[in-house]
Structure 1
Amino acid sequence: MRETVRKESEIFSELAEICATPGYVHVIAYLCYKNNLIQYVDTLTPEDVLYQSSGDICVRTEISTLIGLACKKRLNIDLPLPEVMQRCIDKTNSLLQEIHQSMMQLEYIFDSSKVGEQDFNPFRNGLVLREPIFYGGESAYDFQYIDLSKIKYEKDNDWFLKNKRFSTQQLIDVVMSIQLLQNNKANNLLQELSNENPDKWTFLPVFKFTAKEVSDISNIEIDIVRLLIESFVSPIGMDEFNSLDDFNPKNAYPIIQLSEDEYLLFQLYSLTQALYETPFFWFNDDAAYRAAAMQHRGEFTENFSVERLKLVFGEDRVFSNIDIYDSKRKVGEIDVLVTFADRAIILQAKSKKLTIASRKGNDNSLQSDFKKAIQDAYDQAFSCAELLNEKKYRLVGKSGNELNINREYREIYPFCVVSEHYPALSFQVRQFLTFQQTKNIKPPFVMDVFLLDVMTEMLQSPLHFLSYVNRRVAYGEKIHSTHELTILSYHLKNNLWVDNKYTMLTLADDIPVDLDIAMQARRNGVLGAAIPEGILTKYRGTAFDQIIRGIEQLEHSAIINLGFTLLSLSENTIEMINDGIAELIKRGRKDGQHHDLTLVMSEETSGLTIHCNDYHESISGPHLESHCEQRKYAHKASSWFGICIGQKVPRLRFGVNKEYDWVQSNEMDELVRDLPKPQNLKRKNKINFAPTTKQSKKIGRNEKCPCGSGKKYKKCCLKQEWRV
């Protein structure tokens, strides 16, 4: 018999009763200490972080709900007896689990009679979306909220000074000082408790602080500190907080005032998020400043995106505020344009928030919010992408000058970037976004500024960045994860790849721990691995790595696809390439002659030929072209890549790409008749080179030269002793 699940409202009411228990703040303090703090010694390791990914912890939205309910009445901070504390903890955990289960009872929130209909999709139902919105996880690290707030509000500093009597920098300094103060208290607490009777144990002191303590750390006058702190003490009562989806003032104003000079902050993350988001409400209350604040907000999203993308692509490949003209009429506007060889990114920025009505599961509100935040941005990006390849349209930069850039793009990636935390963003994109795909316009990549920040932090090379974007948008709904950071972390460790035989790749929530540590190490100075072990570390300094770097430096359209292909190869294949190139260089340095290696890739629809020599490009170039043409023909491949690597200095010299339809030719049949067999990248053994003489085709003095020049061999390349 199936267990009956109570209504959510009934469970919520019981939860409110528990939170009103005298001394319940000590229960909240325990849950915050247990769920929000990571304990480690010296160096932060994945094992230290993994605990937070276990299924038995409370998420921040749950704890915020407990805080909000506890604050509906005047707080009683008397310490309960240990047995009372434990009963409250157990009951709280039980009710939180029950309320989560009640949100997942789909039969109660959609019409089961419509299941057989062709267009039926229960996940588009607003009530179904409530669960991923509430439990979907955080979109940002706490230090990102702090770092980005510095940039977001730099143009609003005069308003802060005039209306709040403190600067944006002072605001940030106080938040960081509270963070330092709580960390110090948490580190000292266990030692202090060891000297106390267990009946007196409580974690509440970690979360209490005074204005003087903060003033001493921040070196800011105590009156200013008090103003700053009380700016995040809620001016709103809790009477309207009666369900999970109601506006909880303790999210926007997370500091609780206990007395004239004593305060309580349970979740530092909530304060950093409030730092980033709450000034929006302050600006909005000032009718005279509202328009300027909105303009600054929009400019922040664009400017931040530009600066982050410049870290990857450089100053000369990133453009902002591009107008597209048909004759004298403006027909499109691109917020940010990135170009790299024959690839482009069109980024459209938005700053729309998810409304309270949407969080409650209102279908019309959800779809309206999504349209304003995402769909409109995508439609604009797609329209501009269509115009980008049409040379009749002019691209004019913000300086008023026409852009003199490549106008033939093999791949264009529409990016939609939102500046605010948009709950369950990727889940909503899968349900609501309507998009198109053409031969060169790829599916969209929808993200917030926080994901763009992390991507550009970890993938600071054009090929690595574009390679990830290429696969991420290509797989689309094949990858299931509660968060985009999980997918990025998986890629950094394992190289994102989904075999065609699989319909879905599901990624667990514990995967991002290495990425979490890397970001903490880079931004917070935590001792830990700043680069996750994987694609960015394994082949660093090898011949393979040098080829990738060489392709980026050449930035030639002919071999960008090769870079993408190489970055998608398996570990075994990359090792084969490294071994093969090492052998080519070894032989070339020994005998001074040309040596080559040919490998079949991608189900024999493509291949790679590597030439190793120091001949002048006027000689080695035509030979490589001819060799690739022969190989492509022999394998009836759709494309064939060729690269030339130096012998004395083993760097990428140049490359070619042969990509065209295969057509039978009697002349080519004769020319490729004696071509030696290539290495197949599917084989797991190492490459075994046959003696060069056995791999060579004897070319008659009066035959046409294999370089394709049309001259006789004796009058062209005979003296170079070229071996195909």
Structure 2
Amino acid sequence: MREAVRKESEIFSELAEICTSPGYVHAIASLCYQNNILIYADKLTPEDMLQQFARDILVRTEVSTLIGLACKKQLNIDLPSPEVIQRYIDKTDSLLKEIHQSMMLPMEYIFDSNEVSDHNFNPFRDGLVLREPIFYSGESAYYFQYRDLSKIKYEKDNDWFLRNKGFSIQQVIDVVMSIQSLQNDKAKNVLRGLFDKNPSEWTVLSAYKFTAKEVSDISNIEIDTVRLVIESFVSSIGMDEFNSLDDFNPKNAYPIIQLPEDEYLLFQIYSLTQALYETPFFWFNDDKAYKNIANQHRGEFTENFSAERLKLVFGEERVFSNIDIYNSKDQVGEIDVLVVFADRAIILQAKSKKLTITSRKGNDNSLQSDFKKAIQEAYDQAYLCATLLNDKKYKLVDKSGKELNINREYKEIYPFCVISEHYPALSFQARQFLKFQETKNIKPPFVMDVFLLDVMTEMLQSPLHFLSYVNRRTSYGDKILSTHELTILSYHLKQNLWIDNKYAMMQIEDEICVDLDLAMLTRRDGAPGSDTPEGILTKYKGTVFDQIIRNIDKLEHSEIISLGFTLLSMSSNAIEMINNGISELIKRGRKDGQHHDLTLEISEGGLGLTIHCNDDHESISRPRLENHCELRKYTQKARSWFGICIGQKVPRLRFGVNKEYDWVQSNEMDELVQDLPKPQNLEGKNKINFAPATRQSKKVGRNEKCPCGSGKKYKKCCLKQEWRM
């Protein structure tokens, strides 16, 4: 039985009462110091980052709520006794836990006995059920992403900033960075200062206070301009309307608090960087003459930023923006960003919609309306364009009016829905609300914000690595449970995302995100740590396997893209076996100058791989590999069989083939494969067995079996090819 839970409104009122107690700001300062300050030695490690995931750590929405409630009355910054501060903290912690429990609806409400028999019933579409994941969802962006993307987002609005606010977007960013630097220094020094004080004087509030002069000195910006920037993030809105968790909290949009004597207070630098990214929306909205222009710029930012990030992975020549689709003279579709790599494509549709306050309160109609505008419309447009992409009767025309001359037959098309704003519990809402279709070549959609796309393109700067992750992430869909997408990406970088068919679900805990958090913090903010998580990007770097993946990227041949996906999804043991196997082939080839090969069954009855190692002319080596793969596919009754040819002198991937068609019995093939040895199976083996290396010592007769292993007579195989040379 569920214990009796007080009403959320009753708990919230009690929380509001304690937050307005004399000197409560010192309790907030203590909580922020415990929650947000990372303590480490010379180098930041993943273990240090784990501090952020302790169970007693408050989420930022909880801290923001405390700050908002404290500001409902005139702030009293008198210092209470340590005992009173601790009592404030203990009571706050207790009330926040109670509020969280009150938001979690009873099971009898979620699984209504009157509706569970309906196969269309989904309790998680209920707005009241969604309130909890929306409020407690993990952050979708790093603070430095908000800071850095703001410069790009408002680049076209800079004249408006100068004309209406008296500062440029770069000056805003410089001021924000200076406040961060100032607070970092104060946080380091505040603890040292406590040693010289009586415990009755202990407080860390000074770490969060600053003046315009201090910021001006660090930023080298005139103090009057600094003051204009700071006061743009000081709320002029009263707190009377902030009476529940779902109400608009002005301290989120305007997180700086004005204190007497030219002092200011900022508890969370994250809140300021998020406000830097989001609050100008309110400024533009108040300017009726500029509002529509600003909205247009916001939409252009989402498209342009997405295109530029994808170019980092795929290159300029494979990424196209603003593509119109025509049927004769009529426009029937528009693609914001199109990516083409061999026989794979990404269709990206961008939106810049926000979740409204009404939706946050759990209003079903509002939630679904917001989702439709932010995600569903983008997906519907992407799906329509995907259906037209493979049909050559439709023309693709770029923004200059020129028709695109690109491949029009795609094995896989991935619809991307990208939004520019923080959308709480985005993945969870997409799971509940998004209506989509999947066809043979149109895959399930990938719903994300610009922040996830930014991180994905930062960490997976290889077409094959990027597409392989997208392929698996979209295929697994509802099989993965996680608070946000960054956790899943971090797991992939560490462990190689893979779910065996025998498992229906995999839950990934937040803690695994520390490796990705550290890598991004190192890359974007100069933290003294590792810039790449130990895992798929580091383990095989410099090996033959790594070289094959790089060569598949470079060759961009449709025949071997699927092989690349297969290789990247393999276990560590299988990859080690392939690495060792190819190394042995190269070693033998260099020793005797002969052709050597290796055949592996990747999955029983499903996939196989034949590796040829030689420097023969492609007119000889390609037909030989084609023949060998056809025989292997037939004898194993496999749905697909791959073949690759590796050079001996230069161990690179020369070319590849893929045999993918239905198996049909053939008397001729039965005769050809009767003496063909079984392939070695990668599953469950520790190493590959090689026959002793022997040099061909006698001349092969015309009617003998070809030594290449194709199963054909020598005169119908390699002899014929050699004669053609």
TM-score greater than 0.5 by the shorter chain: yes
Contact 1:50 1:513 in 2 (8 A): yes
CA positional deviation for 1:137? 1.3
- Relative to structure 1, the CA distance from residue 717 to residue 349 in structure 2 (aligned partners, 3 Å threshold; closer, same or farther) is same
Structure 2 CA distance, aligned partners of 1:272 and 1:512?
Answer: 21
Contact 1:676 1:695 (8 Å CA) reproduced: no
**Aligned residue in 2 for 1:672:** 673
> Which residue does 2:40 correspond to in 1?
40
Partner AA of 2:62 in structure 1: E
692-701 vs 382-391, which deviates more? Answer: 692-701
Write the distance in 1 (CA, Å) between the matches of 2:315 and 2:569. Answer: 24
- Structure 2 CA distance for aligned equivalents of residues 260 and 63 of structure 1: 26
1:690 shift after superposition = 1.1
1:626 touches 1:707 (CA, 8 Å); kept in 2? no
Shift of 1:604: 2.9
Does the 8 A contact of 1:312 with 1:462 survive in 2?
yes
Equivalent position of 2:19 in the other structure: 19
Counterparts in 2 of 1:62-141, with a 5 A limit? 62-107=62-107, 111-141=112-142
Name the structure 2 match of 1:229: 230
Task: Tell me, yes or no, if the aligned pair for 2:595 and 2:708 is still in contact at 8 Å.
Answer: no
Q: Aligned partners of 1:265 and 1:43: how far apart in 2?
A: 27
CA distance in 2, matches of 1:101, 1:79: 32
Q: CA deviation at 1:603?
A: 2.8
Partner of 2:572: 571
Seen in structure 2, the aligned counterparts of structure 1 residues 674 and 251 have a Cα distance that, compared at 3 Å, is same
Structure-1 separation of matches of 2:296 and 2:490:
34
**Which residue number in structure 2 is paired with residue 375 of structure 1?**
376
The residue aligned with 2:343 is 342
Alignment-derived partner of residue 31 in structure 1 = 31
Deviation at 1:691, TM superposition (A): 2.4
- 2:215 aligns with 214
Gaps of 5+ in 2: none
For 1:124 and 1:643, how far apart are their aligned partners in 2? 48
Residue in 2 that maps onto 1:590: 591
1:661: which partner in 2?
A: 662
For residues 168 and 13 of structure 1, the distance between their equivalents in structure 2, rounded to whole angstroms, comes to: 39
- 3-state SS of paired residue (2:657): strand
Q: Is the 8 A contact 1:626 1:708 kept in 2?
A: no
Distance 1:245 1:482 in 2: 20
Q: Which runs of 5+ in 1 are unaligned?
A: none
Q: Which letter maps to 2:612? A: H
Instruction: For 2:654 and 2:606, locate their aligned partners in 1 and report how far apart those are by CA, in whole Å.
Output: 25
Is the Cα–Cα contact under 8 Å of residues 675 and 697 in structure 1 kept in the other structure? no
**Any conservation in 1 of the 2:676–2:711 contact (CA below 8 Å)?**
no
Q: CA deviation at 1:2?
A: 4.6
Write the letter of the residue equivalent to 1:157.
N
Q: How does 1:632-671 map to 2 (within 5 A)?
A: 632-671=633-672
SS at match of 2:114: helix
Q: CA deviation at 1:525?
A: 0.5
Given the two structures, how large is their TM-score scaled by the length of structure 2? 0.97
- Map 1:190-269 → 2, pairs under 5 A: 190-269=191-270
Q: Which residue of structure 1 lines up, in the alignment, with residue 614 of structure 2?
A: 613
Q: CA deviation at 1:229?
A: 0.2
CA contact (8 A) 1:589 1:647 kept: yes
Using a 3 Å threshold, how does the CA distance of structure 1 residues 251 and 350 change in structure 2: closer, same or farther? same
For residues 521-540 of structure 1, give each alpha carbon's deviation from its aligned partner in whole angstroms, at most 9, with x where no partner exists: 10001111100000000000
Q: Distance in 2 between matches of 1:526 and 1:128?
A: 39
Structure 1 residues 141-156: aligned runs within 5 Å: 141-156=142-157
3-state DSSP class of the match of 2:512?
Answer: coil
Query: Is the Cα–Cα contact under 8 Å of residues 339 and 346 in structure 2 kept in the other structure?
Result: yes
Cα distance between partner residues in 1 of 2:165 and 2:261? 19
SS at match of 1:610: strand
Deviations 1:506-552 (A, max 9, x none): 00010100000000010001111100000000000101011111111
Distance 2:304 2:78 in 1: 50
Q: CA shift at 1:700, angstroms? A: 4.5
Query: How do 1:268-307 and structure 2 match up within 5 A?
Result: 268-307=269-308
1:703 positional shift: 6.5
1-side partners of 2:523 and 2:424: how far apart?
26
In structure 2, distance between residues paired with 1:365 and 1:711: 69
CA–CA separation in structure 1 for the residues paired with 2:698 and 2:582: 22
The offset of 1:106, in angstroms, is 3.1
Distance verdict in 2 for CA 1:256–1:342, change over 3 Å? same
Q: Which residue of 1 aligns with 2:546?
A: 545
Please give the secondary structure, in 2, of the residue aligned with 1:446: strand
Q: Give the Cα separation in 1 of the matches to 2:332 and 2:692.
A: 62
- Alpha carbons 1:625, 1:707 under 8 Å: kept: no
| Residues 256, 266 of structure 2: 8 Å contact kept | yes
SS at match of 2:594: coil
Shift of 1:285: 0.4
CA separation of 1:108 and 1:255: change in aligned 2, threshold 3 A: farther
Q: Deviations over 1:206-239 (max 9, x none)?
A: 0000000000000000000001000000010000
- The corresponding residue for 1:423 is 424
In 1, Cα distance between equivalents of 2:644 and 2:668: 25
d(CA) in 2 for partners of 1:719, 1:392: 43
> CA-to-partner distance for each residue in 1:632-668, whole Å, 9 max, x for gaps?
1111111110000011111100111111111111111
SS of 1:511's partner is: helix
Question: Does the 8 A contact of 1:479 with 1:504 survive in 2?
Answer: yes
Q: Is 685-694 or 505-514 further displaced after alignment?
A: 685-694
Q: How far is the alpha carbon of 1:699 from its aligned partner? A: 6.7
- Do the aligned partners of residues 88 and 697 (structure 1) sit closer, same or farther apart at CA in structure 2, a change above 3 Å counting? farther
Q: CA deviation at 1:113?
A: 3.5
Relative distance call for 1:676 and 1:10 in structure 2 (3 A) is: same
Q: How far did 1:484 drift?
A: 0.3
2:603, 2:683 within 8 Å by CA — same for their partners in 1? Answer: no
What's 1:527 paired with? 528
Q: Would the aligned equivalents of 1:345 and 1:413 in 2 still touch at CA under 8 Å? A: yes
Aligned length: 722
Q: Which amino acid aligns with 1:233?
A: V
1:176-191 matched pairs, under 5 angstroms: 176-191=177-192
Q: 1:684, CA displacement in angstroms?
A: 2.5
Corresponding residue for residue 321 of structure 1: 322
Q: C-alpha distance in 1, partners of 2:249/2:324?
A: 42
Per the TM alignment, residue 697 of structure 1 is displaced from its structure 2 partner at its CA by: 13
Say which is worse superposed, 414-423 or 183-192, in terms of deviation.
183-192
Q: Mark the CA change 1:133 to 1:695 in structure 2 (over 3 Å): closer, same or farther.
A: farther
Shift of residue 705, structure 1, vs aligned partner: 6.8
CA distance, structure 1, for counterparts of residue 568 and residue 116 of structure 2 = 42
Q: CA RMSD in A?
A: 2.0
Q: 2:592·2:695 contact (CA, 8 Å) conserved in 1?
A: no
1:484 matched to 2:481? The reply is no
| Counterpart secondary structure, 2:335 | strand
In the alignment, residue 376 of structure 1 is paired with which amino acid?
Answer: E
How far 1:150 moved relative to its partner? 0.6
Cα distance in structure 2, aligned partners of 1:145 and 1:477: 29
3-state DSSP of counterpart to 1:390: coil
CA-to-aligned-CA distance 1:363-417 (integer Å, 9 cap, x gap): 0000000000000000000000000000000000011100000000000000000
Partner in structure 1 of residue 433 of structure 2: 432
Q: Is the 8 A contact 2:673 2:711 kept in 1?
A: no
Given the two structures, how large is their TM-score scaled by the length of structure 1?
A: 0.97
**Distance change in 2, residues 1:629/1:118 (3 Å):** closer
Deviation at 1:121, TM superposition (A): 1.6
Structure 2 CA distance, aligned partners of 1:337 and 1:290?
29
Distance in 2, Cα, partners of 1:532 & 1:218 = 33
Moved more, 110-119 or 189-198: 110-119
Structure 2 counterpart SS, 1:512: helix
- Secondary structure in 1 aligned to 2:655? strand
- Give the aligned residue type for 1:330: Q
* Equivalent residue, structure 2, for 1:9: 9
Q: Percent identity over the alignment? A: 80
Give the distance between the partners of 2:405 and 2:715, measured in 1 at CA: 45
What is the identity, as a one-letter code, of the residue corresponding to 1:426?
A: S
Verify the 8 A CA contact 1:109 1:127 in the aligned structure 2.
Answer: no
**CA deviation digits over 1:164-183, x for unaligned, max 9?**
01001001100000000000
- Which residue type is aligned with residue 599 of structure 1? L
